[in-house]
Structures are given as C-alpha cells and as structure tokens.
Structure 1
Amino acid sequence: METFFAEPLLHLSLMAIALIAGFVDSIAGGGGLITMPSLLSAGIPPHIVLGTNKLISASGTLIAALTYIRRRLFEPKLWIACALATLIGSCIGAILAKYLDASMIKKGVPIIIIGIAIYMLIPKKQAAHKINNLIPSKTKQVCSGLSLGLYDGLIGPGTGSFWTLLANSLFKQDLVRASGIARFMNLMSNISALATFFYLGMVDWRLGIMMGIANMLGAYIGAKSAIKYGAEFIRPLFIFFVVLIAGRLIYIEYLI
C-alpha cells in the first residue's frame, strides 16, 4: 500500500513545490533554488535534474515574461543583442554541463545554493530609478547575456535574481522593469538550455510537464503580485525555504 501511494504523493509534493517556486521566481528570481534541490532530494539523477529543471523553469518564465510584456514593462526590441547573447551562452553552458561529474553536481549544488541564498539575504541598495527610454549599451548587453546565459545553462539557480540586480544597477532600470528584463532573459536561457538538454537526452518529460504546469500557475500569480506589491514581501520566506532544502541536501551528501 505504501508503494502504491508513494509515487503519486511524491509527484503532488513536487508540483506544490514547483507552484511555490514559480510564484517566488516571478517576483524575486531564484525559483531554481527551490526546484533543483527538491528534485535531487527526490532521488532524480543529477544530470536529469539539470534538464528537467530547465523545462520547469521555461514554463514559468514564459508566463511571467508575457505578463510583463503585456503590461508594457518590458520592450523586447531594445534587448535583442542581450537575448541573442543569452541564447548562445546558455547553449554553451548546457553542453559543458553534460561533462560534469554526477557526484560533483550532487555535492556542489547545495553549497552553491546556500552561498547564493546568503548573498541574497545581505541587504542591497537597489536604486529607485525613474522609468527611462534610453537604449541600453549593446556591449553591456552582450557581455551580460553571455556570462549569465553560460551560468544558467551550466548550473542555473539564482540566475533570475542576478538578472534583476544587474538590470537595476548596470542598466539603471527601476525594480519592476528590472524584473521584467530578468524574466525575459531567463526565458531565453531556459529555452536554449532545454533544447540542448533535450538533444542530449537529459530531460524527464513526464515529471517536467507536471511540475511545469504548476510552475506556470505560480508564475502567473507571482507576476501579478510583483507588479502590484513589489518583491520585498516574499524575500524572507524565500531565503528560509531555500536554506532549509539545501541544508537537507548537505546533510544527506556530507553528514550521513
């Protein structure tokens, strides 16, 4: 009887986690900080986790990006260079991920995740820039897209948060518009990495689609909330949840 109920309960739990991750990611970024350790904790092979997590993330970032575009909080035509560079960087990162040792992924990801969570916990001065229509520097766009795209394809967690901070500080966008830029660029890197992982056979489509649907719902609710209320109300809960899951992974990998 326990075996009969184990898999459905696991799937429901992972879908609930994906919904929360989509909500958080569309507001502050970092949804992968929640889904990746959860998939690893569920016993999914590390390389499959990388590919499946990209399917989940792509589902949520699609909904979130469209929401920001519809509200005219992001203009894709101004960010073409950045989007193309992100696609290229993410593809390269995903190819490199194929050659990462599985044990390195399992032991390294929780450390990286907790490091990013601590970084996000540190108060940062986020400039309250006025909305501007300046065309962003293409050189800055390409450098940003290649570097963050590479990171997202290779590892992934925290990319959305990095994009938000970068758009706010480097490109002088107000926080809500910076979130819109982050969601779109995250979508670009997710699509590129997902296509690469699909070609390499590193995606669990059944689990990814189930969690992706839940992630889309969370992203829709989160994007609406972010536009209305801003990002700060979710951050303490987000950090607590991330550290809790990553701490469990560290306990499993290093202390047992």
Structure 2
Amino acid sequence: MNYYDPSLWLFVILFAAAILAGFVDSIAGGGGLITAPLMLSIGAPPHVALSMGKYMGVFGTSLAAWEYIKRKVIRPKEWIWCALMTLIGSFTGALLLLSLDPSFIKKMIPPLLIAVGIYMLIPKSRKQAQSEDGIVSQPKQIASGLGLGFYDGFIGPGTGSFWTVLYNRIFNQDFLVASGVARLMNSMSNIAALVIFAVAGKVAWFMGAFMVVGFMLGSYIGARSAIRYGEKFIKPLFITLVFIIAGRLTYIEYFTN
C-alpha cells in the first residue's frame, strides 16, 4: 500500500479506520491517533497526515456537535466567546506548526492524558455536583478557548479529552454537556487549522474525501450513543479510551524512534 499509488484496498482500509476514528473522536477525542499513524505508514508526508485529522474533523466533529445541539444538550449562544477564542488560538497554533517542530512537547502528552484518566476516576465532591449547570464565565471561556485552541492547532492529540475534563471537573459542567462543548470547540479549531493547511498546500483532498465520509459515520454513531445512553455509558468509555490513547501515544513517542 502506497500513498502515491493508492489501490482499492487502501481506500477500504482508510475508510474503515476513519469510521473507528470518528466514533472514538466523538466521545473522547483522539481520532487522529488512529488515522495519522496509518497515513504515515503508507508514506504520506507528516503535515499531510496531520492535516487529514483536521479535514475529517471539520465534518465529523461538526456533525457530532450538531447532534448535541439538536438534542438541546448544549446551547451554542452560551459558548460564543469560547468558540471565537478557539478559532483564534487554533489559527495561531497551526501557523506555528508549519514553522516549528513540536516533537518535544508531544512527549509530555502521554503522562498528561494518564493524569486526566486517573483524575476522572476520582468521584466528584457533592459541592461540585451541585454546581454543574451554571454558565461558564466569559474570562474562563476566553482563557480555555485560546489555550486549548492553540494546543489543538499546534499539536492536537488529546484535545477532546482535555476539553472534557476541563469543563466537567474544573468548570463543573455535566459530563454530557462537557462532551458536547468539547465537540463544538473541536469543530472550531479544526476549521481554523484546516484553512492554514489548505493555504500551505498540505491537504490530500481526494483521498481525504473518502475518509471524511467514514469519519462522519463514526461520529454520528458515537454522538448518538453518548446522548442516548448518557453519562453511565459515556464516562466509563471516555476513561477507557483516554488510557488507550495515552498508551498509543506513549508507544509512538517513546518506543518508535
């Protein structure tokens, strides 16, 4: 299988991988950890492999976010500042990515994700549980949007997990709401980053189109499952996926070079 001489079987494999990536991404984030290594393994240039995650994410995470919005899990008007700052942060991060090597920072992600998973295993205090439905303040939205938007544009892996734990545990939002906000903000950061990659000519549009369809299908199934079965379904799956993603990143960053 070769990126520069694709076969029918290659498209089938990429499509199947995109479905799995979309499902994972719609719940815990990290779908790019499935598709990016696969793209690299068939000879795709690194920036093209990274841009594929943004290409799929623009459609897949937007579809997942729409499911949360349509079913009134989240209300976009309450997250305007966060969305705007996420766009700006991701735009800046993607610009920097094209000129710098983020490999050193990437080695810090696995232990951070493991910490996130362990933190989510700790039961919330009664005080936290009582304050879940409040609207997050404008300063917190601006800070989180700029910070995590920049991180997503510059590095990417684990962003959805960081969004979810930030809004669920630090800002005391319901877990399903936090997951919906994570999908909405991921869609914003993906749009900004994709624009930068597209202008730089780093997007494989034709091959990516097949993967977009698969990613959207997986995202739809994942979002519908999360909304239908609620926190009892999504929280254990989220924690499990976070540890799997952390393990995958640990292997990539520490044992493949």
Gaps of 5+ in 1: none
CA contact under 8 A between 1:117 and 1:243: conserved in structure 2?
no
| Identity of matched residues, % | 46
Rounded Cα–Cα distance in structure 2 between residues aligned with 1:80 and 1:219? 23
Matched length: 247
1:1-256, aligned counterparts within 5 Å? 7-101=7-101, 105=103, 109=106, 111=107, 114-124=110-120, 125=122, 127=124, 129=129, 134-229=134-229, 230-234=233-237, 235-236=239-240, 239-240=243-244, 243-244=247-248, 247=251, 251-252=255-256, 254=257
* Residues 63/126 of structure 1: CA separation in 2 closer, same or farther (3 Å cut): farther
Deviations 1:149-171 (A, max 9, x none): 00000111111111111111232
Cα drift, residue 42 of structure 1: 2.6
Q: CA deviation at 1:72?
A: 0.2
Is the CA contact 2:111–2:246 (under 8 Å) kept in the aligned structure 1? no
Contact conserved, 2:87 with 2:189, CA < 8 A, in 1?
Answer: yes
TM-score of the aligned structures, taking structure 2 as reference length: 0.84
* CA root-mean-square deviation: 2.7
Q: Using a 3 Å threshold, how does the CA distance of structure 1 residues 41 and 245 change in structure 2: closer, same or farther?
A: farther
SS in 2 for 1:86: helix
Q: For 2:167 and 2:185, how far apart are their aligned partners in 1?
A: 11
Moved more, 187-196 or 39-48: 39-48
Q: Is the 8 A contact 1:36 1:49 kept in 2?
A: yes
How far apart, CA to CA, are the structure 2 residues paired with 1:238 and 1:169? 15
8 Å contact kept, 1:33–1:242: no
Equivalent position SS for 1:231: helix
1-side partners of 2:123 and 2:39: how far apart?
Answer: 32
Cα deviation digits, residues 17-59 of structure 1 (max 9, x gap): 1111111111122222222222222321111122222001222
Inter-partner Cα distance in structure 1 for 2:245 and 2:94: 27
Equivalent-residue separation in structure 2 for 1:61 and 1:26 (angstroms): 6
Tell me: CA distance 1:82–1:227, structure 2 relative to 1, closer, same or farther (3 Å): same
Change (3 A) 1:80 1:248: closer
Q: 1:120 to 1:31 in 2, by over 3 A?
A: farther
Q: Name the CA distance, whole Å, in 1 between partners of 2:243 and 2:110.
A: 9
Shift of 1:116: 5.0
The residue identity in structure 1 corresponding to 2:155 is: I
Compared CA separation, residues 202 and 242, structure 1 to 2 (3 A): same
8 Å contact kept, 1:126–1:175: no
Structure 1: distance between partners of 2:245 and 2:133: 37
CA positional deviation for 1:133: 5.3
Amino acid at match of 2:247: V
Q: Partners in 2 of 1:207 and 1:16 — Cα distance?
A: 13
Structure 2: segments with no counterpart, 5+ residues? none
Q: Which amino acid aligns with 1:247?
A: Y
Q: Deviations over 1:92-113 (max 9, x none)?
A: 0000011124xx65x875x456
